[in-house]
Structure 1
Amino acid sequence: MVIVVLTTLSAIGPLATDMYIPAFPDVAAELGTTASRMQLTITAFFLGTASGQVVAGPLSDRLGRRGPLLIGIVLCLLASIGCALAPSVELLMVMRVLQGIGGGFGMVLGRAVLIDMTDGPELFRVMNIMQGVGGVAPIVAPLMGGIILLVGQWREVFVVIAVMSAISLVGVLLMIPESLPVSRRHSGGFRTFLRNVRTLLCRRLFVAYMLVNAFSAFALMAYVSASSFVVQEMLGFTSTQYSVSFAINSMGMMVMSLLSARLTRTIHPRDLIRVGLIVVSLASFALLIGSLFLDTPAWIVLPAFFFTVAPQGMIFGNGGALASDQAREIAGTGSAMLGLGFSFSASLAAPLVGVAGTQSSLPMAIAMVCGVLISGAFFIMAGRESGTPNPHAGRVA
C-alpha cells in the first residue's frame, strides 16, 4: 500500500496539469475570457510546480519528509477546491499556482521517500512503477477530463483532483512514516541548497541520467503537443479514433513500465534504457522519413507514435533511479532537480513545435529525433563515466 500511496502522489501533479484541457471552451465561455488567457492557466500551474519542487526538496532535507509532504497535499487539496469555485479567470490562475506548488511538493517528496526507504533492485522496481504512472498521467489526463465532462461540468474536474488529494492525505497519514531520521538531515537555508545543487551538478552520472530523462521527455511531449493535428487534420481520423490511438499508446507505456519493473531483477537497468532509446530512435527516424519523402502515411505514423511512446516506460523509471542513486545523502534536492529537468524540457517541446509550424508533421518529427538523439548522447556519456556494475551488489552507478 505504501507504493500505491507514493504512486498516487507522483500522479496528482501531472494529472492536474492538463486534465481540464478538453473543457477550455466551456471555461472560457463561463468566465468570459479568451483562449490565450486559458493557456496562461497551464503556465501558472507549471510555475507553481517548479516553485514547489525547488522549495520542497531542500526543505525536506532539512526538516524531514512527512511534514512538508502533508503541507503540500493540503495545499493541493484546498487549491483544487478553489479552482472548482473560482468565479473569474484571475482567481483561477492564482489557485492554479497554489495547486502547482502543492503538486510539486507531492512529486518531489514521493520520490525522496522512496529513495530513503529502498535500495538496489527494489529501488529500480518501484521507481519504474512510479515513473511509469507519472509519465502516463499527463498523456491520459485529457482523456480522463473528457470522460468527466460527459457526466459533469468543468468544475467537477477539479473536484476529482481534490478527491484524489484527500485520498492521498489519508494514505500518507496512515501509511507513510517519517523516512529521514534526524541524523541524516542537513541544516541551512538557501545557501545550503545552492551548495547541494552545485554538488550534484559536479556528479557527472547524476547530470547525465537526469538529462537522459529530460530529453526523452522532450521527444514525448513533442508527440503529445502535435499528434492530434497530425492524426485528425492530416490523416483524416475522427476525434474518437484519435482518442483510441492515444489510449493505446499510453497503455503501451504503462505496460512497458510495469514490465521494466520486473526485468530489473535480472537485467541491468542500463540495458533496458538502451533498448528503449534504440526503439524510440528508430521510430522517430521512421516518422522523419515518412514526413520528408512519403507524405506522412498512416502506416508509418501510427506505429511510429506507438514505438515512440511505449518504450519511454523503459527509460524514465530506470534513468530516474540511476540518477537518484547518486544523490542519496541529499535525496530531496536530487529529486527536485530531476523534476525540474523533466518539466523544463517537456515544457519547451510544445512551443518549439508550434513556432516551427503546424502545416506538416515535419516539425514534430524533427523535435522527436533531436530529443532522443540528445538523450542517447547523455546515455553514452554516463556509460563512459561509470561502466555497468551489477546493480544487485548494492549501490548502482
Structure 2
Amino acid sequence: MQQKYLKNAGLIALITILSMIPPLSTDLYMPALPEMTAYFHTTSTLMSFTMTVFFIFMAIGILILGPMSDKYGRKPVLIASISISLIFSAACAFAPNILLLILARGASAFGAGGMVAISTALIRDSYEGKAMSKVLSVTQAFMLIAPMLAPVLGALILEVADWKMTFIVLAALTGVSLAGAFLLEETLPVKERTQSSTLQSILGLRKVAKNPNFTSLLLVGAIIAAPFMAYLALASYIYIDGFGVSETTFSMYFALNAAASILGPVMYMRFGAGSVKKAINAGIIVSIISAVLILTVGDVAPIIFLLSYILYSVVTSYFRPLISDLLLSATKTDVGAASSVMNFGFTVIGSIGMVVGSLGWSSYTGGLGITMLIFISITILVWLFVLKAKSIKFDWK
C-alpha cells in the first residue's frame, strides 16, 4: 500500500516515533521521582510502582490491541491507542494524588501497548525482504536509544520546569504521532482482515504462541536481551553511587553507551543475518565475555565498566532486529497477533530482567554481571534445545 501523504520516509518516521514513545514514557520522568515523591507525600516504593504499573498495562494493551488491528484495521485502532496514551499522559501532569497518577499511568500504558504492537505490524504490512530488515534496524535502534537518552532529557526539563512538564512534553510527542496516524493510509486491506470476533482474534494469540518456530526464536532473543532492562534500572546507582560521578558525568557515560548501541542495528542493516546459527553463537560468546569483564574489572573505574558493557549493548541491539526480522518474515497471517506476542514476550521477559537486577545485591556492578550470566545461561539452554528439537524446523544455515 503506497502512502499518499506520508510517503515512504514519513511512514518510517511514524513507525520510529511510535516505537520511541513507550520507552520514553517509562524513563523520561525518572530524574523527577524524588521530587514527585515529596509532592505526593508518598513513599519511594509506591512512586516506583508507577513504572511497574506501566509495564503491566502496556503488556495488556499489546495483547488486546494488536489482534484488534487484525480485525478492524491498523489505522482506527492505532488512532484510538495514541489518543488514549496522549489523554492520560497529559492527565498525569494534573493528577491530584498518587492513586490517580497510578490510574492515569495504567491507562496511558494500555494505549502505548497498541502503539508498540501496531508499529511492528505496519512494518510487516508495508515491507518485505531487505527493505523490511532496514526499517526494522532503524526503528529498533531508536527504540533502544530512547530509554537511554530519556533520563538525560528529563534532567534537562527539570532544570527549567517541574516534574509536570515531563508529562506535558511526553503528551506533545505523542500528539506528533497522532498527527502522523491521521495521515496514514490503511496498510491492511479489508479482504485480508480476520473475520472472527474480537474475542476470537485475541484468543488467536494462542495459535501464534503454539508455533514452536516462533516461540523458540522469541525466547532466545528476549532472554538474552533481558539484562538490558536491569542496566536501565541500575545504571544511575552504578555510576553515581558506586563510582561517585556527578549527574552530568553520568549522563555522558549513559549517552556514550546509547551511541554504541546504534552499531548493532547498523551492522544488521549493512550485513544482514548471514548465518543465523553463527550470529547467535557469536552473540552468546560476546555476551559471556562482557558479563565476565563486568564481574572481574567492571568496578575498577567508570570507563572500564562502560567499555565492558558496550560489548553487550552492541550484541543486544543487533539481536533485536535479527529476531524481529526472522519472526515477521515467517508470519503470513494474523500479523497483529504475531506482533503482539513478540512485543509481549520482549516486554515481560525484560521486566523480569529488571526485577532480578534490582534485587538486594551487595554490589550494583556485581548484581548486573550476575544478572547477565543468569540470563545468558538460560539462553544457552534454550538455544541448545532449539538446535536439537525435531519439532522446530528452521533453516539455520
TM-score by length of 2: 0.89
Post-superposition Cα deviations, 1:271-290, rounded to whole Å, max 9, x if no partner, equal: 55554443222111222334
> Which residue in 2 is equivalent to 1:323?
327
Post-superposition Cα deviations, 1:324-364, rounded to whole Å, max 9, x if no partner, equal: 22333011111111111111111112322232424353222
Is 1:85 the counterpart of 2:94? The answer is yes
In the alignment, the residues of structure 2 paired with residue 146 and residue 269 of structure 1 have an alpha-carbon distance, to the nearest angstrom, of 40
**In percent, how many aligned pairs have the same letter?**
27
Is 1:225 the counterpart of 2:229? The answer is no
> Which residue in 2 is equivalent to 1:394?
none
Of 136, 140, 143, 1:131 maps to 140
Of 10, 17, 28, 2:19 maps to 10
> Which residue in 1 is equivalent to 2:312?
308
Q: What is the DSSP-based 3-state SS (H/G/I as helix, E as strand, rest coil) of the residue aligned with 2:186?
A: coil
In the alignment, the residues of structure 2 paired with residue 273 and residue 133 of structure 1 have an alpha-carbon distance, to the nearest angstrom, of 22
CA contact (8 A) 1:223 1:305 kept: no
* Paired amino acid for 2:142: V
> Which residue in 2 is equivalent to 1:278?
285
Of 29, 32, 44, 1:20 maps to 29
Flag the 1:299–1:130 CA change in 2: closer, same or farther, 3 A: closer
TM-score by length of 1: 0.89
> Which residue in 2 is equivalent to 1:202?
210
* Paired amino acid for 2:288: S
Q: CA deviation at 1:91?
A: 1.3
Note the residue ranges of structure 1 that are not aligned, 5 or more in a row: 390-397
Q: CA deviation at 1:231?
A: 2.8
Post-superposition Cα deviations, 1:127-170, rounded to whole Å, max 9, x if no partner, equal: 12112211222222212211111222111111111111111111
Of 183, 186, 193, 1:185 maps to 193
Post-superposition Cα deviations, 1:150-193, rounded to whole Å, max 9, x if no partner, equal: 2221111111111111111111212x211111222112233443
In the alignment, the residues of structure 1 paired with residue 79 and residue 49 of structure 2 have an alpha-carbon distance, to the nearest angstrom, of 28
> Which residue in 1 is equivalent to 2:250?
242
CA contact (8 A) 1:66 1:177 kept: yes
> Which residue in 2 is equivalent to 1:392?
none
Is 1:357 the counterpart of 2:375? The answer is no
* Paired amino acid for 1:52: G
Flag the 1:270–1:147 CA change in 2: closer, same or farther, 3 A: farther
> Which residue in 2 is equivalent to 1:343?
347
Moved more, 278-287 or 379-388: 379-388
In the alignment, the residues of structure 2 paired with residue 128 and residue 280 of structure 1 have an alpha-carbon distance, to the nearest angstrom, of 20
In the alignment, the residues of structure 1 paired with residue 303 and residue 214 of structure 2 have an alpha-carbon distance, to the nearest angstrom, of 39
In the alignment, the residues of structure 1 paired with residue 338 and residue 322 of structure 2 have an alpha-carbon distance, to the nearest angstrom, of 15
Is 1:98 the counterpart of 2:107? The answer is yes
Moved more, 40-49 or 375-384: 375-384
Q: CA deviation at 1:296?
A: 4.8
Post-superposition Cα deviations, 1:2-25, rounded to whole Å, max 9, x if no partner, equal: 101111001101110121010012
Post-superposition Cα deviations, 1:215-243, rounded to whole Å, max 9, x if no partner, equal: 13312122222233233333333332222
> Which residue in 2 is equivalent to 1:58?
67
> Which residue in 2 is equivalent to 1:32?
41
> Which residue in 1 is equivalent to 2:6?
none
Post-superposition Cα deviations, 1:21-67, rounded to whole Å, max 9, x if no partner, equal: 10012112222222122111112211220121111111111111111
CA contact (8 A) 2:133 2:325 kept: yes
Pairwise CA RMSD: 2.2
* Paired amino acid for 2:318: M
> Which residue in 2 is equivalent to 1:393?
none
Is 1:334 the counterpart of 2:332? The answer is no
Q: CA deviation at 1:377?
A: 4.5
Aligned residues: 383
CA contact (8 A) 2:227 2:357 kept: no
Q: CA deviation at 1:102?
A: 1.1
In the alignment, the residues of structure 2 paired with residue 260 and residue 306 of structure 1 have an alpha-carbon distance, to the nearest angstrom, of 17
Q: CA deviation at 1:90?
A: 1.4
Note the residue ranges of structure 2 that are not aligned, 5 or more in a row: 1-9
Q: What is the DSSP-based 3-state SS (H/G/I as helix, E as strand, rest coil) of the residue aligned with 1:103?
A: helix
Of 265, 268, 271, 1:263 maps to 271
Flag the 1:298–1:80 CA change in 2: closer, same or farther, 3 A: closer
Superposition pairs of residues 356-375 of structure 1, within 5 angstroms: 356-359=360-363, 361-375=365-379
Superposition pairs of residues 113-128 of structure 1, within 5 angstroms: 113-128=122-137
In the alignment, the residues of structure 2 paired with residue 210 and residue 121 of structure 1 have an alpha-carbon distance, to the nearest angstrom, of 20
Moved more, 274-283 or 245-254: 274-283
Moved more, 348-357 or 117-126: 348-357
Of 262, 265, 268, 1:254 maps to 262
In the alignment, the residues of structure 2 paired with residue 78 and residue 149 of structure 1 have an alpha-carbon distance, to the nearest angstrom, of 22
CA contact (8 A) 1:256 1:310 kept: yes
In the alignment, the residues of structure 1 paired with residue 151 and residue 302 of structure 2 have an alpha-carbon distance, to the nearest angstrom, of 23
CA contact (8 A) 2:276 2:396 kept: no
CA contact (8 A) 2:260 2:313 kept: yes
